[in-house]
Amino acid sequence: MPQLPKLNLKDKVSEQEWRLRVDLAACYRLVDHMRWGDLIYTHMSARIAGTDEYLVNAFGLSFDEVSASNLVKVNLKGEILDDTPHEINPAGFTIHSAIHEVRDDAHCVIHLHTKETIAVASVEGGLQPYSQHSMFSLPSLSYHDYEGLAVNEDEKARLQRDLGTTNHMLLVNHGGLTVGPTVGDAFMRFYDLQRACEIQVAMQSMNQAPIRVPQPIIDNIYNQANVVHSGSTGGQLAWPAMLRKAYRLDPGFAE
């Protein structure tokens, strides 16, 4: 069986970059575990704090092969900055570079092609207030129309405009996207968006009228979330448990 090149960057990068590499590699493994992946396609990227450098997966690796050391460091043009035998998918980085370019708070961008986010993104009305999980996405949700494969430079401006200041996006005929100040925050936001879409698909298959959450409750959900999280973000609270889970699944991601 062909073997991946053995890399170990732990002593060759800063401690800050290594921690980010471990978090992002764990995110790839968890996405694979959740069955949210799409073979070698789709991407999750993270900005190295204080720089204009970004980490993204090597093109050609399945998500369960991603490790802290084989993540590839690039700039906003998708140019590889470190010594690595791996390449990236430049077209796949187009969406990520567009967002990193204008959203300083979006240190992590997750874009996936799950069947449920594609389904909900691609029907009239999009995501509906049918579940508690939808409450976390709806107050900060945007949409971007399908323009074909994301290879046209001029699509970036429209994507940036459509995302605005929101943290969740449904890409029509395409999938879902979340951003966050940390890998953990972006992951938990995608979890909520994915779960909301799963529930909506299930409810709409029941051939019964769904019960919608009243608008005043939607409007107040952020205040309620602050009470639940006690001033912390969902990523801060849940990510340590998710990271422990990734280690239990296969500690090789942190190499």
Please state the domain count of the chain: 1
Tell whether 3 is covered by a domain: no
* Phi, then psi, of 71 in degrees rounded to 5: -65, 145
Is residue 175 assigned to a domain? Answer: yes
Q: Does residue 4 belong to any structural domain of this protein?
A: no
Residue 104 sits in a domain of what CATH number?
A: 3.40.225.10
The tens digit of pLDDT for each residue in 39-73 reads: 888 899 999 998 989 999 999 899 999 999 999 99
Q: In sequence order, which residues have a C-beta less than 8 Å from that of residue 211 and are 6 or more positions away? A: 130
Is residue 88 in a domain?
A: yes
pLDDT by residue, tens only, the chain of 255 residues:
566 777 787 878 899 999 999 999 999 999 999 999 988 888 999 999 989 899 999 998 999 999 999 999 999 888 888 888 888 887 778 888 899 999 999 999 999 999 999 999 999 999 999 998 998 899 889 999 887 676 677 788 899 999 999 999 999 999 999 999 999 999 999 999 999 999 999 998 888 888 888 888 887 776 665 544 444 566 778 899 999 999 999 999 999
For 177, the domain range is: 15-254
Q: Can you read off the two tokens belonging to residue 62?
A: 């399945």
The dihedrals phi and psi of 72, each to the nearest 5 degrees, come to -110, 135
- Tokens 């069986």, located at residue: 1
62 assigned to some structural domain: yes
CB atoms under 10 Å from CB of 141, counted, come to: 18
Q: State the Cα–Cα distance between residues 210 and 129, nearest whole angstrom.
A: 10
* Domain annotation covers residue 25: yes
Q: Is residue 1 part of a domain?
A: no
Give me 32's structure tokens.
């694979």
